[in-house]
Structure formats: structure tokens, C-alpha cells
Structure 1
């Protein structure tokens, strides 16, 4: 068997060197297919890991409570209004839920922020001092606002790094003033850069303010109103227990009748992570399937060249049979040749894929993660492609009548 394989490899090399252009084009088809599969797999794995890392950076024990419409939940509310969450809801949760360590009400709106003759479109986010702990935000320059600022609804703010750069360039904005709405706000700090958000968007393009100051000056909402409640469980392990406690407390406070849908949603970071994992997993599978089409096309190329090769070498096959070669020997010879072609394309494609991964990652900054398992599977798949698409030509060669083959010109 080993002798037949070695003979097959030797004859395969001779066949390739006799028609290098044709063999090269066949190898190119496999190369493109394998390179595409390797690159797409790395892109999917890299994107999935990047989003997971960003979500974990927000805190694996973060819980978000948001309202849903009164009509959807069946809860009572003012005529023509939806159900609202309040800061008192958050205080009750912090007081009664033993698995909760901190909470912050949060408001969000968008608008222009101006400094001198520069202006920038950004988002305003209001929260209390616990916002920094719950969302795992850290101040790079300056400091957080203090309790006095919060109690007096002072006009102070903390800039995201993108906003600071757009308005002040390389200058230190701490102590300077910016204009939002009709008011001048003193900058007390600049946040550490967070980069891109898990589902898109620049996390650093924002201005953080005390929620009381934002309610009174930028949004004009009712006292105590909270768009959402961001809650921190005591640990990642107690998150689900905290969710149950929050659900029970809010049902009681909002007088949700048993059996009715609540007037609020509760979501955890683990749920966001599972959702994005499912999305990226499906997307990766779809992209790999699309990339695999080119591998199938390469396989068809292998079958085509092998059929041509069988036709051209019919007399050679007849001579080998005449001097004692069995049908299995002929079949092995052409199968080995097909696999050899596919493996050259597979290995070359894997190397090309690795190069493309480094190029896209280093030059364009795409999230790429090279998976050795995917690399191995891609090369093995190319070998299987050679077997699958080389079987029919090999069988045809093995089934030739020696006498007819010897008469072939």
C-alpha cells in the first residue's frame, strides 16, 4: 500500500510538472476556497470575542431595567402615557434586594455641545455617582462630581474622550466650560476611552452629567423620572437571584396583578452576550457556507483536470495494466494525484489565509482571531475535496479495458 502511495505521489509530481499552467489554475481554485474559509472564520471569531470583551468590560453583573408601554403590559397609567420608572424604584431595590450592591437611574438624549467656535453632536447621559461603579467607567483626567454637585444640581459635566478631542484637541479641558442647551457647564473630568460599543457606535462620544442637573436643564422631565435603571448585582454569580428580587419588588410597587405581564423589562449582560454569540455564530456559519462554495468550485476544477488527464494518459494506463498493474493500483494513482493537487491548494490557501488575517488585522484594524482548529479543518477539507472530486476520474481510469487503452492514440 505504501509503495502504491509513493508511486502515486511520484507520478502526480510528474503530471503536475508536465502541465504546470493547468495544474496551477486547478490549485488556485482550491487555494481561494481555503483562504476564504480561514479568513471568514477568523473574522467571525474575532468579532465575537471583541463584542464579548466589550460586554464584559461593562460588568458581567450589570442588570438593566427599562419600562414597556402600559398597553403592552396591562398596567395602570395616566391617560395616553406609558408606565414610568422612577428613582424611588431604584432606591427601593437597593434597600430591599440583598443581591444588589448599587444602582443608578439613567437618562439619555442627544444634542450639540459647544466650546468657543467649535461644536460637536453627541449624546448626553445623566446618572448619579453610582453610575461610575455600575457601568465600570473610570475618569482619566480630573475627577468625578461630588455629592454637593449632585445635591445642588450643579452645572458640571464629564466629557467622553472623543468629545474632549473634538472640542479641545490636545488641550486639557478640565476646568474649562462647554455650552449645552442654554447653559454653560464646567468640565470636571474626562473619561477613559472605551472604544466602540458592542453593537456599534462610539462609547466615547458622550457627555456625562448629574441626573438632577440633566432633568432640570436639558430634558425638563418630572422630578425622579428615570429612563432606565442600571443595577449592579453583588457578583456575577448572584445576578439571576438579583433579577428575581428586582422583579418581585417592582411588581409590588407597580401593583402588577398576578398573571399579568409586568410594565418593565429586565435584561442582564449575560443575556446580551448570549444574544450576540448566537448572532455572530449564525453569521459566521452563513459566511463560511458562502466561502465554501468557492472550495466546491475548486473541487470541480480538480475533477475536470483529472478527467482530461485520464483521457490524455489512456495509453499510459493500458501499458501499466499490461505489465501487471491492477485496477486498484490505477485507481490509487489517480486518487493520490487528485488529493496531492488539492493538498497543495489547501496548504497554500491556509498560508494565504494567515497572511490575509494579519493584513486585515494590522492594516485595517479588523477584529481577527486565528483559530488553529479551523486552519487544520480547512486543510483536511481540501484533502477530502480531492478524494470526493477525484474519485470519479480515478474510477474511470481503473475501469478502462487494457486492450482498448493500448490502441488509444
Structure 2
């Protein structure tokens, strides 16, 4: 009667069972003399074993049952290859007892689990290599970096605890790598903590300096405000002294080199313009007698433009006027004479009405004036 096998938990287990059904059937008629056939089946068994290892249901009865069948077939074929006839073991044979078979299955399961964990641990080490290689005190100031490194180390440690045979060379080597990585990472954590304290101290020192600088600035600003009235008084006094003393005079050589201005205008209204300028001058500066006067411009300067109305930019108005300048020279002191300018304009929009501008403050630096030797005035 054919044996009833456990229903497979997934397609990988099912495929492995189908392989075994075929190989077991072939093995029934094998004898030690049929080594080529034995060898051929043995070469096929690793593929079947690979299917089982890829299964995600190693705890399912069908997986365990299939694994046992695979181990039994492998042992049977190797016995045949060694020249042993595959007889059914006697019931009294300890190797055939249920306990012995159970122990053998347990060892196989542990070996498979160790292999899976070994591959997983090696994968973890490879995938996290970039993370752990780049750990430094500054990087670890980021909480997410510390959390990720700790998480991966803990994950590796949990895998290490699952090994059944940690003394196996391959497993021992990978455990050593994990332990070394754990030690170097813990050192990096300590260095990062020290660096964090240094940064915190530096930050506090910077804050203290910032506060001190702000206090200094406020103190200086307060002092400046307190001294502002005094400084203003000093400036006003200095300006007054300049006004009283008059503008700074050039040296003798410069005064001597300054010629009389040109009297180039020859218009028919010249006499009228000179008289107008002098009368306005005398009205404002009776104490400054005019020693000489003239017009350096050769003609009136006329300007005609259209300008926008300041209240209504869409409107424009016409400006049409002419201007001319009359120079006058007065005595400044016993040595120096000074030339000033009187501006005369004629508004053509108002029937050529005259306007005359005579500077009010002769000591102002904002007006045009030229100094020369008094003796050179003609």
C-alpha cells in the first residue's frame, strides 16, 4: 500500500516531493553495481534540497517530512555507492528507532537554520557597510543616524543569538565581524557624545560673546546719544566761526594767478542788465561796494520745455525763459577781492518779465565765488 504523504504547504515543497517520488522509484531497483545511475541521482538531489531551502514554511510538517525523505534517500544512495546493500533495518536497530530519527531530523533542521541565518547576517553586513564605514562624531550628532546604526546592530545581535553551532568556522568568522563592528560603533558613539558636549560648550560661549557684544553696542549707542548735543553745539560754533572769518583764502601765488573775468557780452541791453544787477546787489549788500562788473556769457541762454503737471500727469505746461549771469567784484579785505555771480532771468511766458537773484549769504560754500588780488581788479 502506497504511503500517504503530508499535503505540501507551498509549491516549492510540492516540487521537492515530486522530485523525490521520481528518485525514490528509481532507487528501488538500484544495487551497488549500478554506480552510474546512483551517481546521477545524487547529482540531482542538491537541486531538490535548494527548493526546500527556498521555502518559507520550514516549520510545516510537509517541509519536515520532505526533508527527512531527502536525507534518507541521500543516505541510501551513498550506502549503495559504498557497496552496501540497502536492506531494511531491523526493528531492534537503534538507528531505526523513532528517537534516533527524530534527533537526526532535529540536527538537519538546525543546520539549515544556521545556513539561513548565516546568509542573512552576511547580507546585513554588506548592506550596512556604507553606514558603518562613514560613522564619525559629527555624523552621529544626527539622532536618526544613531538610531539607524543602533537598530542594525541590534538586528545583527539577534541573528547571532539564533546560531545552533556558533563554533562552525564560517559562522564563527561572521560573528567575529559583528563583534568588531559592535565595538567600533560603540567607540564612535562615545566619541560623538564627547563631540556633542564640545559643540554645546562652544555654542554657549558664542551666546555669551553675543550678549556681551550687544551690551557693548547698547552702551556705545547710549554714550553717543548723550554726547550728541555737545557735538552739535561744537559743530555750530565751528560753522559760525567760518562765517565770521569768511571762506578760506587761497595762497598768494594762487591769488596773483587769478585773472579778471572776461566781459564778452555785447548785446544792446548790456548797460540795462549791468544796472539792474548793481541795483539789486546794492539793495542787499550796501556794505559791499562793487569795484567791477561785467558779463562773461556771449548771449542769453534760452530754454523752452514742456513739463508734466505735478497734480495731473496727463496735463503739460510750457516753460520758456532765458538767463544770463552778471559777475560783480567787491573788496574782501585790504589784500583780497572776491567775484560773485548775479543771475538774471527773463520769462517769455510772462511778457519777458525780469527776475534777479543775488546771493544772500556771501560766506556760504554753496555759492560760486572766486578770490583774486585786490590790486589786480581793473
**Range class of TM-score, shorter chain:** under 0.3
With a CA cutoff of 8 Å and minimum separation of 6, indicate the structure with the bigger relative contact order: 1
Structure of higher CA gyration radius: 2
TM-score normalised by structure 2 residue count: 0.24
TM-score normalised by structure 1 residue count: 0.22
